[in-house]
Amino acid sequence: MGQLPGEPAMGERATGEPATGLTSEEPAGATAQTSGLADAPLQGLGLSVTEHAPTGGATVFTVRGDTHPHRVLLRELGGRWDGIRRVWLFEGSDPRAALQARVGSDGGAMGLCDVASATALPQVDLPNRPHYWGHRQRLRNRFLAGADEALPDYELLELLLFFAIPKIDTKPMAKQLLGRFGSLAGVVNAASEQLAEIERMDHFIITLFKALRVFGARLVREDLTERPVLDNWDRLIAYLRAQMAHRMVEQFRLLFLDRRNVLIADEKQHEGSIDHTPVYPREVVKRALALDASALVMVHNHPSNHPQPSKPDIEMTRIVRDALDRVGVVPHDHLIISRKGHTSFRQLGLLENKNR
């Protein structure tokens, strides 16, 4: 934020090491040659050049290391910044001679700082250097190198916070959020009012969490629209848990199905209090007929975290079932969703019409 797209932030000191775990992944069939003694002027600037000769393709020269001060020159010489591998690429032309010539004759063209200038300050490690300098890039390197499963929850949350919070150390906030809400799901599903209690919280972070919540639910929902819901029950439960399990008030939803039990619509009907939400059988029937639905699944959540049905739940389900029977709409199930699991009325035998 504030630097060129994909380039290292100026507060994160680059090194001559590969910038990410992806830098070691070279084209199949390529042979690599690293810079030698003739490249000493470049090595003195913290740069290294690697030559790759892929089979049947043009030679590619990779410039890595402390490239940020020299980005203007590297671009002028025809380089292309690879924001994933965080290196400069030169296809077909060796940049070493031109770089060495410019270092010796026109250091001022190297970028924002004149590293060839006699008055340039040497790079030193500051004794009071903050521990988190360079931490963001190191964490990104580990994640991109394939350590995603090895990252603990607080580091994964820390990584996400990079996109909303510039420059500062995000680890304390990540740990505070997990301590307050208990899990990644709890953090992402927390209400804005609850998140506002966290120090340094702002609308960028709240927007990020809401986007993650909606994005995750839509990913799961895509599978539900392609085949019969009853044949994809685990996906349905995962979708409903993503949508409802962490809500702080009760919500009543209806999943309308066609004759093949494929999802027509998923609609929130009502939202109530922490232990009650109103349900109007007439509205349920009216909406089912309007959508030409052949069947439906009723769903509501229990913020109390206990998915067992109450007596009012059972009585309400009976009334809605009888109303749907009169118009030929099949109530496949009534599900109760909570953080600890779910309950199916059909599995409990609570949808049977004993008068039949």
Tokens of 10: 């100026």
- Does residue 49 sit in helix, strand or coil? strand
Q: 266 has which bridge partners?
A: 255
Reply yes or no on whether the pLDDT at 189 is more than 80.
yes
For position 354, what pLDDT does the model report?
A: 61
How sure is the predictor about 33, in pLDDT bands with cuts at 50, 70 and 90? Answer: low
| Cα 343 → chain centroid | 30
For position 22, what pLDDT does the model report?
A: 39
pLDDT in tens, 124-177: 555 566 666 678 888 888 888 876 677 899 999 999 999 998 878 899 999 999
For position 343, what pLDDT does the model report?
A: 92
Buried b (16+ CB within 10 A) or exposed e, 220-235: bbebbeeeebeebeeb
pTM: 0.58
Count Cβ atoms within 10 A of the Cβ of residue 34 and give its class: 0-12 exposed, 13-18 middle, 19 or more buried.
exposed
In one letter, which amino acid is 158? Answer: E
pLDDT in tens, 96-119: 988 888 865 554 444 434 444 434
For position 299, what pLDDT does the model report?
A: 95
For position 315, what pLDDT does the model report?
A: 93
Measured CA distances, 265 to 39, 64, 291, 295, 339 (Å): 65, 52, 8, 11, 24
pLDDT in tens, 312-343: 999 999 999 999 999 999 999 999 999 888 99
